[in-house]
Amino acid sequence: MIGKKAMGDYFEKGDISVPKYGFKVKLNNVYPEKRNQRYIPSIPMIIKMLPMILRYLLYYIKTKWSGKYIEMDYINSRESQQIYGVPIGGIGCGTIGRGYRGEFCRFQMRPGLYEVNTVEANQFIITVKDENNHTILQSLLSNFPKKKLSAWTSTIDSSKCTYTGLYPRSWTEYDLSEYGIKLVCRQISPVIPHDYDNSCLPCAVFVWSIQNISSSPRTVTIAFTFKNGTGSWTDSNSTCSTKSFSYENTEGVILHHTIDKMQCSYALATKSDADITVSKCLYFDPNSDGSEIWDQLSTNGEFDKPKNKDHGFVHSEMACGIATKVTVPPQGGKQVDMNLVWEMPTINFINNQKSYNRFYTKQFGTENAVLKIVSYAFENYQKWEESIENWQKPVLDDENLPDWYKGALFNETYFVSDGGTLWLTPKDEEIKNYSKNDPRRTYGHFAYLEGQEYLMYNSYDVHFYASHALHKNWPLLQKCLQYDLRDFVSMEIGDKRTMLYDGEVVERKVPISVPHDAGNPGEEALTLINAYNIHDVSKWKDLNPKFILQTYRDAFDSSGNLDKAFVQDMYDICNQIMQKSIDNDMDDDGLIENGGKPDQTFDAWVMTGVSAYCGGLWLAALYAMISLSDVLGKPDEKKKFQDIFDRAQPEYENKLWNGLYYEFDSSTTDQSQSIMADQLCGHWYLRCCGIESYEVFPKSNVRTALNTIYKNNVQSFCNGEMGAVNGFLAGKIDETALQSLEAWTGVTYALAATMIHEGMVDEGFKTAGGMYQSMVYKSGLAFDTPEALYDEKYIRALAYMRPLSIWSMQIAWEKLKKSSTK
């Protein structure tokens, strides 16, 4: 790694280090397996689901006909592209995906709505001239197939080029030895734990390190081109213009355009340097053959000088570029810094009822910020890298951690920025209603999608798993989200909707219930909450306990210090929803019962009576409420929750423990005997909260259940190489429900964390490691982690939130290390 040197100087120091760990592939890599989302359930399962399927089809047609967005589109599910590398951009400012072969792809500029396009005009181009000024190489620095710009060719030997992704940075090494050049592009995005000022910025820096390994000078040009929009057919509806700029110590081009009627500017920039010649192209047609500017670079190593400093309006697609030319002495090196900035400060959702400002505008304003960000990024990216390295170094240098995990932990974090993420400033009228301790006063609103295909913000049943990534790295964003959810609990939206599962007509949002989500970006997110419409989520049994447990976890910082003001702000709502949940105790044994429907996060898996999953969450929530009541000096309420717990805990053991594991539920069906991978979810969360005792779940039972799960759900499923299948019944995969036969990536990481907490370290890392390595290197799902894997061929819900639960593995590992040194 780079060590203590100033990062911008590392090339001159002769240290072009690329991390040992991370996602590593050659640019000519071909994955051995491609999975798809076209799984067809068994005929008995289809018959059972037929009424819901018909209701879904009717809903789908009506929604599409009205031009709206489906929350979960099962008909046109996205295909796995198998191309992705580290995306660019900070948190909540819009993101642009990158492919490991050089693609600019998967744009999320419209809030929460992805456009999975690879834009062929967005390229880096290299031109190399020898000492006689003869062009000996001109090539795209990418090798993906394209249809337009036919004059642009790739002649690099991709088998000699290597990509390394370690989010939020990546390195692409180009071995151009036959031309006397070696080249490394380091890509940096400002995603930095606990740094709320920089992590919101809409930019990426590209540091090009050029090494001349020949015995004569080489003149090297690196050009950067970019077009308007996102590669969508609507790009041609935009009115575009460009402008050349020289600002402080930077040179570049700004491309003004609109995306879905929202103003947006792209800036391509480079740092000014006496040794570097900068040229600019203010216009070329991205649908042409591209020969005009290609020939300019080949002939002169630079673009022809524009006649004017700006280019007038173009009512169609438009592209521009910058080029840097530098002469590199024999056996010498040069560094060229470039960046890409996008300014889209004010956004709206599809219904356009409100407008919102992105969080970076708090620092840079809502107008004419693009050049300020360009300059700021160049001035500060070295500090960003130092902070990123300080964050990653303890993990990367830990000899006791497996190599795969060192890359996986950080690379799975991509979803924090590339999850359709929003980070918005608070409105003045909102701030007036916030308590003095409310972090939203300073840090605004944070929201991310359940998945890039599942268009619901802050899906709380799933965020429960993913939230460890925020609590560990951006705890104030987690608290902002929790405050928003607290306020949503009391909200009522009386609109009637038909639930797809059973046809029941219910209110969209019932008061004193934790919502499923904060809304659909294809509607009016953050206002029209509860976009989910398969089940009546006001009757779900896991949402209320999950709110309690996240409150309990968030009440303490990483050092164990209590935020009493936070507890005070949350407690009344916690108390109310616990009272509401108690109504689900049908026999006064202290345990809540499931209603014979999929009334929890496994929304295609029916639980009846007391269930291991919801019952365990309920016990953990009772334990948390006892503690929270005690913290606030409420002895009567503490006693109330203690009494319920004292009744419930032994009943949970009596009804579900069979000597080897906690049974799926207390019903009399065959399915009740299923070994559920996530049966210890409540225990997992308490351990993540720092609870070391076994008052809730007996130690011997926890260890025995984990061994049973490992033997059956892990080792007996795909030879232990695909994580933990959700259900295992009678010696084989449980095929009684659609989701029982899936392996959920986020649940697998949570299970692995539980194993590590319990000292089953090898088993934990093997459980998660087999899945991760198969998923990434066999199926090509890097930076596209799905919710679900099947034993073969299939996946479901690409680019999903729940796998951020991998951070619970790090929490477990750190606690284990700390306890071993006592």
In tens, the pLDDT along 340-360 reads 999 999 999 999 999 999 999
Instruction: In whole angstroms, give the CA distance from residue 530 to residue 497.
Output: 11
Write 142-148 long-range contacts (CB < 8 A, 24+): 142/99, 142/101, 142/102, 142/103, 143/27, 143/28, 143/101, 143/102, 144/83, 144/99, 144/101, 144/102, 144/103, 144/118, 146/118, 146/120, 147/120, 148/120, 148/121, 148/286, 148/287, 148/288, 148/289, 148/290
Least confident of 13-27, 169-183, 210-224, 629-643: 13-27
Instruction: In whole angstroms, give the CA distance from residue 481 to residue 501.
Output: 29
* Residues 132, 208 within the same domain: yes
- Work out the average pLDDT over 556-564: 85
Amino acid at 426: P
- Work out the average pLDDT over 515-523: 98
Measured over all CA atoms, what is the biggest interatomic distance in the chain, rounded to whole angstroms? 90
- Is residue 168 reached through a cis peptide bond, with omega within 30 degrees of 0 on the bond before it? yes
For residue 449 the two structure tokens come to 């999608």
* Residues 641, 696 within the same domain: no
- Work out the average pLDDT over 531-540: 98
Q: What share of the chain is helix, strand, coil (3-state, %, to 5)?
A: 35, 25, 40
CB 149 within 8 A of CB 286: yes
Q: Which residues pair with 768 in a beta bridge?
A: none
Distance (Å) of CA 95 to CA 90, 194, 203, 285, 416: 7, 20, 9, 24, 11
In tens, the pLDDT along 264-279 reads 999 999 999 999 999 9
Residue 451 lies in a domain: no
In tens, the pLDDT along 449-464 reads 999 999 999 999 999 9
Residue 549 lies in a domain: yes
In tens, the pLDDT along 645-666 reads 999 999 999 999 999 999 999 9
CB 477 within 8 A of CB 446: yes
* Residues 596, 680 within the same domain: no
In tens, the pLDDT along 759-799 reads 999 999 999 999 999 999 999 999 999 999 999 999 999 99
* Residues 241, 347 within the same domain: yes
pLDDT of residue 16: 63
Q: How many CB atoms lie within 10 A of CB 522?
A: 21
Residue 672 lies in a domain: yes
Sign of dihedral through CA atoms 482, 486, 492, 498? Answer: positive
- Is 2's pLDDT higher than 90? no
pLDDT of residue 372: 98
* Last-in-domain residue among 359, 388, 417: 388
pLDDT of residue 512: 97
Q: Is 593 helix (H, G, I), strand (E, B) or coil?
A: coil
Instruction: In whole angstroms, give the CA distance from residue 190 to residue 200.
Output: 8
CATH of the domain at 268: 2.70.98
Which of 712, 585, 748, 565 has its CA nearest to residue 655?
Answer: 585
Q: What is the mean pLDDT of the chain?
A: 96
Which of 71, 145, 4 has its CA nearest to residue 530?
Answer: 71
Q: Name the pLDDT band for 307 (thresholds 50, 70, 90).
A: confident
pLDDT of residue 670: 87
No. of H helices and E strands in the chain?
A: 18, 32
Residue 400 lies in a domain: no
- Give Cα 134 to chain centroid, integer Å: 46
* Residues 791, 723 within the same domain: yes
Query: What are the residues whose beta carbons fall under 8 Å from the beta carbon of 739, sequence distance 6 or more?
Result: 602, 603, 604, 605, 726, 788
Instruction: In whole angstroms, give the CA distance from residue 96 to residue 107.
Output: 5
Q: What percent of the chain has pLDDT over 90?
A: 95
* Last-in-domain residue among 656, 673, 689: 656
CB 553 within 8 A of CB 688: yes
Instruction: In whole angstroms, give the CA distance from residue 646 to residue 654.
Output: 13
* Residue corresponding to tokens 């599409």: 64
Which of 533, 409, 415, 252 has its CA nearest to residue 802?
Answer: 415
- Is 15's pLDDT higher than 60? no
* Residues 572, 698 within the same domain: no
CB 200 within 8 A of CB 423: yes
pLDDT of residue 361: 98
* Residues 316, 208 within the same domain: yes
pLDDT of residue 557: 79
Q: What is the 3-state secondary structure (H, E, C) of 310-361?
A: EEEEECCCCEEEEEEEEEECCCCEEEEEEEEEEECCEECCCCCCCCEEECCH
In tens, the pLDDT along 159-179 reads 999 999 999 999 999 999 999
* Residues 723, 626 within the same domain: no
Query: What are the residues whose beta carbons fall under 8 Å from the beta carbon of 252, sequence distance 6 or more?
Result: 244, 245, 267, 268, 269, 270, 280, 322, 374
pLDDT of residue 822: 63
- Is 8's pLDDT higher than 60? no
* Residue corresponding to tokens 């390229």: 123
pLDDT of residue 441: 98
- Give Cα 366 to chain centroid, integer Å: 26
Sign of dihedral through CA atoms 68, 69, 72, 73? Answer: positive
pLDDT of residue 145: 86
* Residues 671, 650 within the same domain: no
Residue 194 lies in a domain: yes
* Residues 615, 750 within the same domain: no
Instruction: In whole angstroms, give the CA distance from residue 376 to residue 368.
Output: 14
Residue 442 lies in a domain: no
Residue 49 lies in a domain: no
Which 8-state DSSP code applies to residue 306? P
For residue 335 the two structure tokens come to 């560094």
Query: What are the residues whose beta carbons fall under 8 Å from the beta carbon of 383, sequence distance 6 or more?
Result: none
For residue 207 the two structure tokens come to 């540091």
For residue 78 the two structure tokens come to 């996205």
- Work out the average pLDDT over 684-704: 97
For residue 472 the two structure tokens come to 């560990």
- Work out the average pLDDT over 131-135: 97
- Is 558's pLDDT higher than 80? no
Alpha helices in 422-459 (DSSP H): 428-431, 440-443
In tens, the pLDDT along 388-400 reads 999 999 999 999 9
pLDDT of residue 614: 99
Single pTM value for the model:
0.96
Quote the number of domains for the chain.
Answer: 3
In tens, the pLDDT along 706-723 reads 999 999 999 999 999 999
CB 8 within 8 A of CB 382: yes
For residue 793 the two structure tokens come to 């061929």
In tens, the pLDDT along 408-431 reads 999 999 999 999 999 999 999 999
CB 345 within 8 A of CB 358: yes
- Is 800's pLDDT higher than 50? yes
* Last-in-domain residue among 388, 422, 438: 388
pLDDT of residue 10: 35
CB 330 within 8 A of CB 338: no
Residue 430 lies in a domain: no
Q: Name the pLDDT band for 17 (thresholds 50, 70, 90).
A: confident
Q: Which domain holds residue 276?
A: 7-32+80-388
* Residues 665, 701 within the same domain: yes
* Residues 161, 310 within the same domain: yes
Least confident of 310-314, 630-634, 673-677: 310-314
